[in-house]
Amino acid sequence: MKILLIDILDNENKIQTKYYSLGLGYLVSFLPKDIREKIDIKIINNQSEKEIDFFKPDIVGLSCVSQNFNRAKEIAKFCKERNIIVIIGKGHISSIPECLDKNMDIGIIGEGEQTFSEIVEMFIKKEFTQENLKKIKGIIFHSENNLIQTQARPLISDLDSIPFPDRALLNIKKGDNFYMFTSRGCPYKCRFCFSSRFWGKVRFHSAKYVVDEIKYLIDHYKPLRITFCDDLFIADIKRLREIVELIKEQKFYKKVKFTISARANLINDNSVKLIKEMGADIVCLGLESGNETVLKFLKDDLANMQDNIAAIKYLKKYNLQVSASFIIGSPSETREQILETLDFIKKSKLDLFEINVLLPLPGTPIWEDALQKGLVSVDMDWSKLNGDFLHNYKNYIILSEKLDRYELKYLYSLFLKERKKRRFKLLIKYIFTRPKEIIFFIKNKLKRKFVH
């Protein structure tokens, strides 16, 4: 039996092609050993139909976000013409299960490890019937002319029961930048983010599990840097302290650098000391806006400009590199408020920042607002959710009630100009302080250029 897992990407989107799908790696590693021995499984991060014809899988699993759903439907149609079972998972189908295309057999809703394992086992045992599918929790499938959604699957309470993701199938090279998840979920409910809805309550890997995985990566791949992709790596300060103590006991201590994410209100002298002590040198913050009113709209009443300013100050005090993300284009945000954010960035000591124009992603409160206004629908052209505003502005869903797409494009270009200055300044600094990472960056750039 053959299974092909495909991460549906937009090859023109540099952000998407930069990362590999740990989610698919988890699906593979979670399969019981007796099942794993009976299948030939492969993971690819492109969508070549030639790959499908060459491999001739019995099952194709698609991992897909909303903006790439059009492409997922094309791949599904190609597969059904060859009588291949098609399963789809990830954020889009979990947020809007009723979007399951006629050429897709099963949609996995929410966490997929246990569900995928049960589906594969059913297929191996030749028990793949609609009656048996009804017994599997956390899926949606077609039954005649209807969609059947089964009972929700309980969350995996013990994250340590999930093995490390199978990176061997992800075709990762030694020395690459590596990514890890040490928790699932987020305790906050930002209006633009679906993480808390998709993952449910916050759950953490133990400190020991985290450090064991770091050690595994260093022993097998010798990474220059490990980035923790958690929504909030430092949310549990007790666990953070335990991770730091365990890292300090390892031979790799101070031989690998870490990038972490944090929320501004959790940054203080205590947390920053621990971040620095563990060997992290880059901290990513979701600051979102330089205007108090817009900030509270995007995040919640707990967010405030005072915390944002203090967070940068604390991190720079310990000589940490600070990167932040910002969002413009909220419904009631004015031109003046957007320029306030730009002014905040210019006056700040941020090393880097990313700028995005607000998008209504399925599973978020912003999506629900846009749905009520008729700006989106479940049968829309999903390419309109492509977040690359610079190249997609003519097709972009504009949520602003104050500015049109051309005014937003001009304001967006001002942020890009400021970002370019900071990138150049940081590049010069890196040449002298991080030559190995510069060489790796150039190699990766060349590789992506010729591959894509």
Q: Decide if 157 is inside a domain.
A: no
Q: Decide if 154 is inside a domain.
A: no
Let me know whether 198 and 104 are in one domain.
no
Let me know whether 106 and 232 are in one domain.
no
Gap between the Cα atoms of 59 and 61, Å rounded: 6
Radius of gyration of the chain measured on its C-alpha atoms? 22
Range of the structural domain that residue 413 is part of: 172-451
Q: How many domains does the chain have?
A: 2
Let me know whether 101 and 197 are in one domain.
no
Select from 117, 149, 181 the last residue of a domain: 149
Q: Decide if 161 is inside a domain.
A: no
Q: Decide if 68 is inside a domain.
A: yes
Let me know whether 257 and 344 are in one domain.
yes
Let me know whether 197 and 329 are in one domain.
yes
Select from 116, 149, 182 the last residue of a domain: 149
Q: What is the pLDDT of residue 17?
A: 44
Count other Cβ atoms within 10 Å, centred on residue 381.
11
Domain of 327, CATH number, reads 3.80.30.20
3-state SS, residue 77: helix
The pair of structure tokens assigned to 149 is: 């959604």
Domain of 89, CATH number, reads 3.40.50.280
The pair of structure tokens assigned to 208 is: 């020991």
Question: In one letter, which amino acid is 427?
Answer: L
Q: What is the pLDDT of residue 170?
A: 87
Select from 115, 149, 183 the last residue of a domain: 149
Q: How far is CA 101 from CA 98, 140, 212, 257, in A?
A: 8, 11, 40, 43
Let me know whether 291 and 438 are in one domain.
yes
Let me know whether 329 and 404 are in one domain.
yes
Let me know whether 194 and 137 are in one domain.
no
Q: How far is CA 295 from CA 107, 331, 363, 411, in A?
A: 35, 13, 20, 18
Question: In one letter, which amino acid is 428?
Answer: I
3-state SS, residue 103: coil
Let me know whether 242 and 345 are in one domain.
yes
Let me know whether 304 and 400 are in one domain.
yes
Let me know whether 180 and 134 are in one domain.
no
Gap between the Cα atoms of 22 and 15, Å rounded: 15
Q: What is the mean pLDDT of each run of 10 residues along the chain (452 residues)?
A: 93 55 95 96 86 96 96 96 97 96 97 98 95 97 95 96 94 80 90 86 95 96 91 90 97 92 94 96 97 96 94 97 98 98 98 97 96 96 95 96 98 98 89 74 59 47
Q: Decide if 156 is inside a domain.
A: no
Q: Decide if 159 is inside a domain.
A: no
Let me know whether 22 and 111 are in one domain.
yes
Q: Decide if 237 is inside a domain.
A: yes
Q: Decide if 124 is inside a domain.
A: yes
